[in-house]
Structure 1
């Protein structure tokens, strides 16, 4: 049903290409790795004085299927929503996002299990309504104003929360789909691209972190990371920030380079017995390195695992052509 012109919400599309941000937002981003204030218990697997690289060994039991979960987001346009008087306007972000899961198993190779995509309009304006365009409906998401943050940061965080929520829905759907398809119940493994936060209740799940924004280990233990060979990992440690999890660093196969080249951090839930966390760490050494990407295929190699890279391409296609979506928003804005 078409919304009558008189009932349409008024908004304007920012003239800047969204890839360059907005004409009004903070431009600086932290690019250095910061010291962390996280609580660390490094004696989970071995005493601190015995910390050395751990060579790969045979895990207790390999999963019947490995399911990789990831999501993508894209800002289609930044918009401005004027008040009734037309004297002030609130910032908004029109975005598309998608999440999916790809299954790697012996019966079907690598194949997409489930994929979902959404469009949303995120704004601090409490009166914003859904926006209908030829490229689909942008659902209104009202975000509380934060005096301590710029609107761009606040809206980006809200978009990320919705993406994480969609990833959680996707992970649950993927787990249901894989059971009976190629895996018996409770024999699969979920590998979620990104931290496990808010998803650590999922059984048999690993968080896979490609980038390092903080130094969590003390210098003498951090030096062990630099000595890792391909396929080796650090001992498991317990890490606490606003939430707790077990973690370890793993080096994927890669060309020689800096001390941290090819290094990823892997996480599992803190409510597991320590012995089970160590088993998952050993399992990650056997399972993840064969999926490492290579430089001539992926600029984020080797950390962007091949199944995750393929899933990202599939999800981005589902978002549609960005120019078409942007033009659809412009047409809808003109009609408002």
Structure 2
């Protein structure tokens, strides 16, 4: 058989996701050995009885609250370190900063002298908000908040005031075993998570005037539920997959899910515990894991409550799935979340103006 004939028989599917976001499935079918998660599969069904579960009749929540956050690094800066003997507790030395120069240039003082002892830091903007979907008002922005921060391990760091707002200093303990960029990025993500919890809490307070009975709402967090499992009636919504957590035979079953079907609920433990299940959103037939999302809820709720949340997510979330010709991350990027992301990025401000404000501040 010629190469051309072989090629004519090859079947393939194009991943609908925008390549700049990676893939909706990143090694999910190959990294089984890499997963160290402790999985308890018999929460809803015994492993031998695992099968796709069809939607069931459930009572709709009074409102669905979608929570998301965005972040953007405005500049990498260098903070000059004071000479030994001039540290906090003896004498406070205000930090001087330099905006990172092109790779060929060394960070330099205003007099042109090379900075020999400076630590890299991040100036970033981040925002979080909540979209409420309720019968009386439809989908609408409920709460939003944004902040700017300076993330560093430099103990002499101070807040950086600019004409575009103040970058509040967050000093992270240094860890020589971890890459500095990763350490600072983690600190930024931690602050964003805290802001998401804050806006979610405020959103439930703001529901008072919406005619929604207390305790009848459902909170859907875009991303893992880590750090937010204490929020009642909350789901984590994971769009992409990097690791196969289930045993091979159960993992293979996920690819057989039809649109609207879900896997049985299982308990999963890594550095934290949670109930989890997989759900396929409505999508164009394609790759085995096309349209698959993972849902999470708290581990400390009864199994019956976790199964009830799974049934609710199965009946509710497919109606919010995005469409391929409108969203490059369809169907996983839910329509309310996509709209919220656009609004949050608008609140971050113009990156060119923010960069200019930082440069002015560094020169003053």
Using structure 2 for the length normalisation, give the TM-score.
0.82
1:171 alignment partner in structure 2: 200
2:268 to 229, 236, 239: 239
Q: Which runs of 5+ in 2 are unaligned?
A: 1-25, 84-114
Of 83-92 and 295-304, the range deviating more from structure 2: 83-92
Give the 3-state SS of the residue equivalent to 1:75 in structure 2: strand
State whether residues 142 and 203 of structure 2, in contact with CA within 8 Å, keep that contact through their aligned partners in structure 1: yes
CA RMSD of aligned residues (A): 1.1
State the match for 1:102 in structure 2.
131
Aligned counterpart for 1:319 among listed residues 339, 343, 348: 348
Shift of 1:84: 3.2
| CA distance in 1: counterparts of 2:223 and 2:78, whole angstroms | 31
Query: Per-residue deviation at 1:297?
Result: 1.5
Q: Deviations over 1:105-160 (max 9, x none)?
A: 11001001100000000011000100011111000110111111111000000000
- Over 3 Å off, 4+ runs: 31-34
Q: Which has the larger radius of gyration?
A: 2
Alignment size in residue pairs: 304
Contact 1:105 1:182 (C-alpha < 8 Å) held by counterparts: no
- Alpha-carbon distance, 1:307 to partner: 0.3
Name the CA distance, whole Å, in 2 between partners of 1:217 and 1:262. Answer: 18
Deviations 1:297-332 (CA, angstroms, capped at 9, x unpaired): 111111110000100111110000111111111111
Report the TM-score, using the length of structure 1 for normalisation.
Answer: 0.88
User: Which deviates the most, 240-249 or 157-166?
Assistant: 240-249
Structural mapping, 1:1-336, within 5 Å:
32-33=27-28, 34=31, 35-59=34-58, 61-84=59-82, 86-335=115-364
The CA distance in 2 between the partners of 1:322 and 1:176, in whole Å, is: 32
Conservation of the 8 A alpha-carbon contact between 2:151 and 2:171: yes
Distance 2:217 2:211 in 1: 9
- Structure 1 portions without partners, runs of 5+: 1-30
Query: Cα distance, 1:180 vs. partner?
Result: 3.8
Offset of residue 32 of structure 1? 4.2
Separation of aligned partners in 1, 2:27 and 2:264: 25
Displacement, 1:103?
Answer: 0.2
